[in-house]
A and B are shown apart, each in its own frame.
Chain A
Amino acid sequence: EIVLTQSPVTLSLSPGERATLSCRASQSVRSNHLTWYQQKPGQAPRLLIYGASRRATDIPDRFSGSGSGTDFTLTISRLEPEDFAVYYCQQYGSSPQTFGQGTKVEIK
């Protein structure tokens, strides 16, 4: 199965700053079938990005995804207070679909 490694584990930033999160796959993700989710404490994950770069419904344009093959990035252009959370990547190009271990974006 494909192993997804996210970095950094924790990102300490201030509101208004830019966040760059990385997700590296152990092998190429077929058709760039890579998603990003946001999860806040006590809540289910929320779909942000699918197909590596397509924003899900109602997701603000400060969230963007990029990358292909084995290296993918989630960028939050200017952090809003509600963006401090844990972010997970997921690949669904190969079975079983797998998730990364997460990056926590915390307030500096």
Chain B
Amino acid sequence: EVQLVESGGGLVQPGGSLRLSCAASGFSFSDYWMHWVRQAPGKGPVWVSRVNSDGSSTTYADSVKGRFTISRDNAKNTLYLQMNSLRAEDTAVYYCARSQWLPDDAFNMWGQGTMVTVSS
């Protein structure tokens, strides 16, 4: 089955860290740019970060630059998001998503999302 499955979300205190994972299956993971997109409750989605097909190029939204790190392991078909120095405003559902073709492109595949709550 062609799918993306996120894991690793949970409740964390402000200033804490969390590592999200996204397991891909059913397609050639190493061929695609991959992204993290987050969505706060009741709000629209917000792009967070992207990584190229071999993991050598990464880009971040200004709001997470210096705190979050995106990476991938193509041998394990897995995408990661290391989140440090978490803030209340990072609270959201985090989705991994696949670019259609280009680095910036329509997202034609999404995971089911994992909830991250930053609160004391």
On A, residues with C-beta under 8 Å from B are 33, 35, 37, 43-47, 50-51, 56-57, 88, 90, 92-93, 95-102
Contact = CB atoms under 8 A, between A and B. Distances in A.
Nearest to B113: A44
A28 to B, nearest CB: 16
Classify the interface of chain B: helix, strand, loop or mixed: loop
Classify the interface of chain A: helix, strand, loop or mixed: loop
B106 A44 contact: no
Interface residues of B, number: 20
Contact of A44 (B43, B44, B95): B95
Interface of B: 43-47, 59, 61-62, 95, 100, 102, 104-108, 110-113
A50 B46 contact: no
A97 B108 contact: no
A45 B61 contact: no
B59 A47 contact: no
A92 B110 contact: no
